[in-house]
Structure 1
Amino acid sequence: MTDQSKQDIFQAISDPTRRSMLKLLAEKEMSITEIVRFFPISRTAVNKHLHILANASLVRSRKVGRETRYTLNPEPLVELKDWLTFFEQYWDRKLLALKRYVEENSDQT
């Protein structure tokens, strides 16, 4: 698979169902049949979501007999963590400013 055909990690996690699947697969390896039980969608829809996650390298699959089993592959999440870490500096500043504002204004009441 080339980088161009690889699913963008941010697009892959943009869907709440896929985020839920990642949490589920972080706990243990599961087959599609097991995963389907947790979602009010068809097996075909679950398979499509797993395909997107696999294209983003967020899940690994392996054949066990006639079934395919899936598990979380956390390594690509480092890219997401790095991106979010960059913005923490802005959140920290805003929270510090809010703290100062609240402390300054709480004396006036």
Structure 2
Amino acid sequence: MARTLKRTAAFAALGRALTAGARGGPSLGKRLGALPRMIRATARGEYDGGLRLALMAAATAYVVSPIDVVPEAFLLLFGLADDALMVTWLAGSVLSETERFLAWEAARPTVVPGHVVR
């Protein structure tokens, strides 16, 4: 049940992102620009997206790996449907996680490094 909800949330995020321009949400460019910052913040331990980033990396590796050629070689329709589902999930997950990251980033207090002068 929880897996179905997560998949549903990823697909819903994809739908929201595709219509974000009309509703005033973050643009696709802002979301993609947030990816390097999200990875950096996760690597530093500031942001809690480690598992989600690992799942997205695994999905990307699966789609581009030679292992993925096996379903296409024997079951063409299943192999292509498998890729389409994985890419759609990956796109929805990236959009959902970047939306979450941008909200987290906006809620953080901004601190300018420097010295206090009295």
Same fold by TM-score, threshold 0.5 exceeded? no
**Whose Rg is larger?**
1
In terms of fraction of residues, the more strand-rich structure is 1
Q: TM-score scaled to structure 2, two decimals?
A: 0.28
Q: TM-score scaled to structure 1, two decimals?
A: 0.30
Using CA pairs below 8 Å that are at least 6 residues apart, which structure has the higher relative contact order?
Answer: 2
